[in-house]
Chains A and B, each alone.
Chain A
Amino acid sequence: QSALTQPASVSGSPGQSITISCTGASSDIGGYNFVSWYQQHPGKAPRLMIYDVNNRPSGVSDRFSGSKSGNTASLTISGLQTEDEAHYYCSSYTDINNLEVVFGGGTKVTVL
């Protein structure tokens, strides 16, 4: 069982918006604004898309946005494009078990 819970898959048509949820606990997402999101295409390195809940690194399209409410964080992709088809992982700082970071199980985004 993942430390953070994500849906296994989400799909949408080109141009649509989709949202991926990431549910944790008060010891991670709910207690800190250190949520990040990563995109990974098959065989490629993960790529940082969002950090500190809702910040985009330089070079990431503004079609990607992040938010948080309580113990759940969300990644929204607007104007879905074929190149957005990939796995997406959430991550959060955690204050338990002498860990620093926990990850979600990943969500496969399919562009129909």
Chain B
Amino acid sequence: EVQLVQSGAEVKKPGESLKIACKGSEYGFSSYWIGWVRRVPGKDLEWMGIIYPGDSDTRYSPSFQGHVTFSVDKSVSTAYLQWSSLKASDTAIYYCARRGMTIFGVAEYFYDFWGQGTLVTVSS
């Protein structure tokens, strides 16, 4: 069964750096885009962007461009989301999700498998 397993909850101070992980299993990790989605407590889901593990092609939402970085390590089937300088407003649950694909290999606009989420708390 396809699984995305995310790293555990983090508590950080403003200005600190952080890298959270999303490990895929039981599918061709390199062949499916991985998306990142944020949920700030009490607010909506927000699409942050996507990365293609095969060649690290990356697309960021304008709201997150410049503030976060996506990366992958194909050798361990893991995608990463990182911050170089956290803000209190980054406090949220972060989900990774596998972007769906047609039987012809065309990427779709839905996410068929999701990680369990990583709670990031940024507080002084």
Stretch of A10-18, A19-27, A70-78, A103-111 on the interface side: A103-111
**Closest chain B CB from A64 CB (angstroms):** 14
Interface set, chain B 109-124, CB cutoff 8 A to A: 109-117
Report, as a range, how many residues of chain B touch the other chain: 20 to 34
Question: 0/1 per residue, A1-17, Cβ < 8 Å to B?
Answer: 01100000000000000
When distances are taken between beta carbons in the complex, the residues of chain A under 8 Å from B100 are 48, 51
B86 at the interface (CB under 8 A from A): no
Q: B50 contacts which chain A residues (CB < 8 A)? A: 100
Give the nearest-CB partner of B61 in chain A.
A99
Tell me the complex Cα distance, A101–B117, Å: 18
Cα of A34 to Cα of B4 in the assembled complex, Å: 23
Chain A, interface size: which category? 20 to 34
Q: Check A36 for interface membership: any CB of B closer than 8 A.
A: yes
Binding stretch for chain A, among B11-19, B24-32, B41-49: B41-49
CA distance A45 to B22 in the complex (A): 13
> Interface on A for B, CB 8 Å cutoff?
2-3, 32, 34, 36, 38, 44-48, 51-52, 57, 89, 91-93, 97-106
Binding site for A on B (CB under 8 A): 4, 35, 37, 44-47, 50, 59, 61-62, 95, 97, 100, 108-117
